Amino acid sequence: MSDKMTGMMPFRIERPDDGIRPCLQEKIDNLTKPKGSLGGLETLAMQAGWIQQTLSPRLSNPCHIVFAGDHGITAEGVSLSPQEVTHQMIVNFWTGGAGINFLARQHHVDLSIVDAGVNFDFDPGDPILHRKIRKGTRNYLYESAMTAGEMNLAVERGADCVSACFEKGCNVIGFGEMGIGNTSSSALWMASLTGMPLERCVGAGCDHTGNIVAHKYRVLSQAMANYRGGGATEEAMRYFGGYEMVMAVGAMLRAAELKMIILVDGFIMTCCVLAAYRLYPEMLHYCVFGHQGDEAGHKLLLDFLGAKPLLNMGLRLGEGSGALCAYPLLESGVRMINEMNSFREIRVTKYF
């Protein structure tokens, strides 16, 4: 059942029709291979065909959107990286030198960078999508990170970004993020929306040494103790979220509404899936989970959602890197169902 309050733009998200599944399974089982021998590729082919309601699914004009925003909680020292890294990395994105850039080039994915709420004044001519809500969220140790109006606007702007991709013929889309401090916000979303103890949700973020975790946990525990909101999903999103995270939620919901395949990245984007799922549970059917990252709570969250990630390679970069690393597996599943011969087409005795 949906956990949505009033005020946010509505979405119409439907579970794909199950009627096509037996036909998809029959086609997959009659390809020239032992039944089930391509394992997860068969699962991906089934999911793609089910979402698209066809026995011959296609991946068209793949897109990837990185939403960027700053977080007021960084004033409390919850990250070893200074806040200016957010806007510096955006410049790295548009000049093509970041991790997500080489992956997008490798897999021929159209990449967009969105200023959702970075604490920096970009020039109007800079090659990004200027969708800034505010120059960083407020410090949720003391007050809500954003107003209800700001949250609703972020959802709408995220949805609009996906609509623009869809209009270009895109039917498979990934999402990533850039925002110093957003693992803190994600941990609080996870604890609030799953009921898990906060200590199981808090990880080291960009601090590979783990030295900051104890301090980070103390700050976030106090923020949660100060929180006076109710249990509604939108309240937790508004109080603890980042503009880039809320835009990602809106983007995911719009993608599911448009029946697009959604490539899910690591801990932060999985927390965005969690929020979107709490609002519209049927959106989960459109998600392909790219990987299990190293952030402490990610495996727990994947298990909570019943998700089976495609990769486990120790990735913890963010930006959507794990989603794009997994994209070729989805492509392989789609090529399998479209390009392999069936036993009906050639003279091969079924050998299973």
Catalytic residues: 319
User: What residues contact 144, with CB distance under 8 A and at least 6 apart?
Assistant: 138, 229, 238, 239
Q: Are 48 and 330 in contact (CB under 8 A)?
A: yes
Q: Within 13 A of 275's CA, how many CA atoms are on the CB side?
A: 35
The alpha-carbon radius of gyration of the chain (Å, integer) is 20
159 three-class SS? helix
Q: How far apart are CA 199 and CA 194, in angstroms?
A: 13
Beta strands in 118-171 (DSSP E): 129-130
Q: How far apart are CA 330 and CA 341, in angstroms?
A: 19
C-alpha closest to that of 276 among 242, 243, 253: 253
Q: How far apart are CA 315 and CA 175, in angstroms?
A: 16
Tokens at residue 85, please?
Answer: 């890294």
Please, what is the Cα angle at 164 between 162 and 169, to 5 degrees? 95
C-alpha closest to that of 191 among 180, 182, 202: 202
84: number of Cβ within 10 Å: 13
Q: Are 203 and 267 in contact (CB under 8 A)?
A: yes
Q: Are 120 and 209 in contact (CB under 8 A)?
A: no
